[in-house]
Amino acid sequence: MKKQYFLLSLLAAGTLLASCGGGDTTCSSCPSATTPEPEVVVVTNFAEQLKAAGITGYTYEDPNAAYYTYEELPTDGDYDLEVGASSGHESASTTSHSYYTFDFAMSRINTYWQNYNWKEAEDEEVGTGAKTLAEAAKLTNAKYVSEIFPNDGKEYVIENTRGWCYASTSFATVDADGSPRISEAIPSASKGEDGTWNINLFSAPKTLNENLVRTGECMLLLYEYHQDEGYCNGGRIVCEVDFEATTLSAGGESTKLNKGDTLPESYSYVKFVLKATNLYSMGYVDPSLVNE
């Protein structure tokens, strides 16, 4: 039986060699001459797409690199952060801590998340975009794009959309009945000639407007959580309404407001200027506590 199996094996081998021209292993039907599968290059972003196409000279820059920075402990002792008598400014973490200065805190309000993406050119944009990868790589702001270029023969331009500011912003006020209120609104910040900071608030929720006019004060809560890096920063800023610079817009006219005024039932908006007076350590705001 073993002898028969051996002979069958020899016959099978001889048949294979014969089909290959008597042992010529250069023919396409030989297993040893199988052409290797081409390497599949998977691209996940614009930079890899350009590299795969052999286009050089492109370097991606993260448009939100500043988001991943944090404020280092000032070495000159110049702090705005107010702490209790039993604690100091030093933190157990070099990354997770409250803002030390007004300047850095305000920079987190004034800096917004930037998104750069491809958008098919509209009528007025035709001739300003790119139809090929080589053209796309040369566009202004192309260095900020991570999205893969469609490369389908159509013309595309780069669209920049602004997201939320780097720090989440909430305002703590008190309702007329004494109940605490947390309101979400997006402010901006500007520095006065005297070096103090102003918080500019426009189109805030109605109850927040009413509380600010009635009491003339609030606390701005700033918080940012860097999940991937595992640290958080923030602060609480006490603000007073600057009624000399705060105006009510209604019926196409702007008028100044005074502390304690009652807002009309219908108006366009209130443009607040808030004076930042004190900077305190951060506090987390539970989303379930947000009233509006």
Alpha-carbon separation of residue 290 from 115, 165, 179, 214 (angstroms): 27, 18, 13, 20
pLDDT tens, 175-194?
999 999 999 999 999 998 89
Domain ranges of the chain: 43-72+114-163, 166-289
pLDDT tens, 278-292?
999 987 555 565 676
Q: Look up the pTM and report it.
A: 0.73
1 pLDDT band, cuts 50/70/90, is very low
203 pLDDT band, cuts 50/70/90, is confident
**pLDDT at residue 170 is higher than 60:** yes
Range scoring the smallest mean pLDDT among 33-37, 109-113, 125-129: 33-37
Q: What percent of the chain has pLDDT over 70?
A: 81
Per-residue model confidence (pLDDT) at position 26: 52
Range scoring the smallest mean pLDDT among 2-16, 39-53, 209-223: 2-16
Question: Are 265 and 256 in contact, with CB atoms under 8 Å apart?
Answer: no
pLDDT tens, 72-90?
878 777 889 987 543 445 5
How would CATH label the architecture of 166-289? Roll (2.30)
